Amino acid sequence: MLEPYQILESRVLGADCVLLILACRFSTVGCDQVTKSIAKAELAGMQPLSFLGDTLRLDLARNYGAFLSLGSALGESSGGMVLSALVGLVLAGGGARMATGRAP
């Protein structure tokens, strides 16, 4: 975790680490969504793919909720939108806290 002085120090040195951290956060979420889309398209209706003597197995598992199946009662499309919006708000809030120097 970054300390507020580290953010200020990086700004003095001409680097904007807050933007870098936000870019890393959003790109991670973006990569996660892309890989989920590929898995849905490629693995739907297939038997699990096994590699290296079943050491590595690719199988499509669906979880319409989130942590501990929160949001599972919302349905696939509306639950996905609500949970994605919540993740976006959390990321934006964390970025705003870091940008203002109030990160814990």
- For residue 91, the enclosing domain spans 4-99
Residue 50, amino acid: S
Please check whether residue 101 is in contact with residue 2, taking contact to mean a CB–CB distance below 8 angstroms.
Answer: no
Domain presence at residue 51: yes
pLDDT over 60 at 104, yes or no: no
DSSP state of 48: P
66 within a domain of the structure (yes/no) = yes
Is the pTM of the predicted complex or chain greater than 0.75?
no
Is 62 contained in some domain?
yes
Cβ(86)–Cβ(28) below 8 Å: no
Q: What is the pLDDT of residues 10-61, one digit of tens each?
A: 667 666 666 777 777 778 878 888 888 888 888 788 888 889 988 988 887 7
In a domain, 81, yes or no: yes
- How do residues 78-100 score in pLDDT, each as one tens digit? 766 777 788 788 888 877 777 77
Asked if residue 94 is part of any domain, the answer here is yes
Write phi, then psi, for 70 (nearest 5 degrees).
-65, 130
How many folded domains does the chain comprise?
A: 1
Q: Flag whether 104 is in a domain.
A: no
